[in-house]
Amino acid sequence: MLTASPRPSPVTPTIDLSAQGVQHGHLRLPYSRDDSAWGSVMIPICVIANGDGPTALLTGANHGDEYEGPAALFELARTLDPAEVSGRVIIVPALNYPAFRAGTRTSPIDKGNMNRSFPGRPDGNVTEKIADYVTRHLVPLADIVLDFHSGGKTLDFLPYAAAHELPDKAQEVRCFAAVAAFSAPYSMKMLEIDAVGMLDTTVEEMGKVFVTTELGGAGTASARSIGIARRGAGNLLKHAGILAGTPETAPTRWLDMPSADCFSFAQDDGLIAFERDLGESVRAGEVIARIYPIGKTGLAPAEYRAAMDGVLAARHVPGLIKAGDCLSVLAVLTEAP
């Protein structure tokens, strides 16, 4: 997958990523356009380094409408004292910065979905150029990568940190140890609908420890979910040995997505009425939600039934749904992996 192109990245950091102390700057990507002939996209980046030690790469807003990552990481970048750090923390609070500015999942420039654009291309669109820079210039610096996600404007999740089943079992163990250290209320062994193009896959294929999250959604972030994100980032830095101390653990409930039966997709347009809330149990065959036709009264809703026993781990938002939308995700409570 990692066919490193010899073509140099057009991205220039305005700070020295290898310098000691605190640096706030940008990844500057030339982007010529109507309102700025020789303009650039300026992606905020912060590096906090002190002496020898591992490097953590912390990223948010890989999808532009997911807010726990940016909320935790703008705060961490502002407050982390290099004297507390052994090694280096690289913080990119809003990876798909054009999308983040627009409050949209994908970039308004090229409709690029950052987490379907990896490993990226140095000669691609703006989103692919950012991805390529991350792949070839940031991830190789890192020992551990934390990429914050939540559901954005069209999904809402139970708050969990997650890792994937990996071909390298020793690496998988390291990833789940980091998930446990993050200490979200839930911890997931995550199955992807399609792992191609994800930062996750790129980092994992480079042999690094990778942790992702789904910490809520519905196009906003709550005090609770931001608190989970802040504590999790601190815990991960402690786990990596970059911050002193032991992770501030809290009880977590382990979840597994054992097969594609956990996903349900709408086949109808209409008004969605859930029969379960996030975290509630459902048995195979029970109704998860009904979709009502909204053109006239008197029509029966379409019933969506669980294909397996589980708890509701994610659900569609807002109240109207279209055929093809992800309606729900079920997961099963399990022992720690």
Choice between 149 and 164, CB closer to Ca ion: 149
Nearer to Ca ion, 136 or 149 (CB): 149
Q: Smaller CB distance to Ca ion: residue 218 or 291? A: 218
Whichever of 162 and 209 has its CB closer to Ca ion, that residue is 162
Considering the complex, state which of residue 132 and residue 156 has its C-beta at the smaller distance from Ca ion: 156
Pick the closer one to Ca ion by CB: 187 or 212. 212
* Rounded least distance, CB 43 to Ca ion, Å: 18
Looking at the DSSP assignment, which residues form a beta bridge with residue 209?
144
Angle at the Cα of 328 from the Cα atoms of 324 and 329, rounded to 5 degrees: 120
DSSP summary character for residue 84: G
Nearest approach, Cβ of residue 141 and Ca ion (Å) = 23
Q: How far is the CB of 238 from Ca ion (least distance, A)?
A: 25
- Do residues 209 and 144 make contact, with C-beta atoms less than 8 angstroms apart? yes
Q: Which of 129/149 has CB closer to Ca ion?
A: 149
CB-nearest residue to Ca ion: 149
> Which residues, in sequence order, are CB contacts of 169 under 8 Å at separation 6+?
none
To Ca ion, the closest distance from the beta carbon of 152 in angstroms equals 6
Q: Which residues contact Ca ion by CB under 5 A?
A: 63, 149
Residue 155 in 3-state DSSP? strand
Q: From residue 62, how far is each of 99, 156, 266 by CA, in Å? A: 9, 16, 25
**What are the tokens at 283?**
């048995």
Minimum Å gap between C-beta 319 and Ca ion is 21
Whole-number minimum distance, CB 199 to Ca ion, in Å?
Answer: 10
Give the Cα separation of 163 and 325 in Å (integer).
24
- CA 287 – CA 275 distance, rounded (Å): 7
Q: Which two tokens stand for residue 291?
A: 């979709």
Query: Which of 242, 83, 94, 91 has the alpha carbon at shortest distance from 178?
Result: 242
Q: How far is the CB of 151 from Ca ion (least distance, A)?
A: 7
Q: Is 261 helix (H, G, I), strand (E, B) or coil?
A: helix
Q: Is the link from the previous residue into 167 a cis peptide, with omega within 30 of 0?
A: no
Q: Distance between CA atoms of 256 and 334, rounded to whole angstroms?
A: 7
In DSSP notation, 203-214 reads HHHTT-EEEEEE
